[in-house]
A and B are shown apart, each in its own frame.
Chain A
Amino acid sequence: DAKTTQPNSMESNEEEPVHLPCNHSTISGTDYIHWYRQLPSQGPEYVIHGLTSNVNNRMASLAIAEDRKSSTLILHRATLRDAAVYYCILSVSNTGNQFYFGTGTSLTVIP
């Protein structure tokens, strides 16, 4: 399995940046790194993904280590609506793009 390791929980103050870490030491050269988040009673929601280079979109930034064995999801200004479980996932391209979810990081945003 393409495993990832994340802290179980993190807290952030509202309007401050949040850095969510993920370790994926078994990553192979063609595996993409995906981040999804899940609000209560909803399906996972796409946040961002990348292969080697850092990526930015309207929701977040993804910083990928040079050796690709770790990555960090950066929320630039946390809001209360960002409180969710965040999953770091590797997609294994030669197995039908299967996703292997871990238990994720539960982010609490403090007003």
Chain B
Amino acid sequence: DAGITQSPRHKVTETGTPVTLRCHQTENHRYMYWYRQDPGHGLRLIHYSYGVKDTDKGEVSDGYSVSRSKTEDFLLTLESATSSQTSVYFCAITEWSTDTQYFGPGTRLTVL
């Protein structure tokens, strides 16, 4: 599992509240990613990071921000959660020696 953990694993919140999801990795990987997955759909990239303090947008970045102050942690923040952000969020890393992405267990977020 490439040492990836996500917290929390489940969260229910109300519209308009801020939410932060955490991805933690233990193997010093440079690249980290946040995806969302909605029912009946594949994963869509929100943001990714290519190093400490280096981040870039993915295809569905509106309404989300990220931060990476340490190699091991990549945070995804919803400044003001909306019901359309109800989804399952997956974190991933790239193992460059094999050009392979490994995914965390996911966080199920419900915005009421």
**A and B co-occur in one complex:** yes
* Chain B hits for A104, CB < 8 A: 42
Q: Which chain B residues have a beta carbon within 8 Å of chain A's beta carbons?
A: 31, 33, 35, 40-45, 48, 50, 56, 58-59, 90, 92, 94, 99-106
**A98 and chain B: residue at smallest CB distance:** B45
- Contact, CB under 8 Å: A97 / B41: no
User: Chain A residues in contact with chain B, CB under 8 A?
Assistant: 1, 32, 34, 36, 41-46, 49, 87, 91, 96-104
Chain B interface mostly helix, strand, loop or mixed?
strand
A-side contacts of B106, CB under 8 Å: 41-43
Once A42-B105, A43-B105 are accepted as A-B contacts, the answer to whether A99 and B100 lie under 8 Å apart by CB is no
Contact B103 A44 (CB under 8 A): yes
How many contacts A-B (CB < 8 Å)? 55
Extra pairs beyond A96-B50, A97-B94, A99-B92 (14, CB < 8 Å):
A34-B101, A43-B90, A43-B92, A44-B43, A46-B100, A46-B101, A46-B102, A49-B100, A87-B42, A99-B45, A101-B35, A102-B42, A103-B41, A104-B42
Q: Write the chain B residue with the least CB distance to A95.
A: B56
Bound Cα distance from A41 to B44, whole angstroms: 17
Q: How far is the CB of A104 from chain B (nearest CB, A)?
A: 6
Chain B positions within 8 Å of A103 at CB level: 40-42
Q: With A42-B106, A43-B90, A43-B106 in contact, is A97–B42 under 8 Å at CB?
A: no
Counting from the closest, the 5 A-B pairs by CB-CB distance are A101-B42, A43-B103, A101-B43, A44-B103, A97-B94
Q: How far is the CB of B89 from chain A (nearest CB, A)?
A: 10
Please, which residues of chain A bring their CB within 8 A of the CB of B50? 96
**In whole angstroms, how far apart are the Cα atoms of A1 and B94 in the complex?**
19
Q: Which of A34, A91, A98, A103 has the most chain B CB within a 10 Å cutoff?
A: A98
Measured between beta carbons, the chain A residues less than 8 angstroms from B48 are 96, 98
A contact residues around B43 at 8 Å (CB): 44, 99, 101
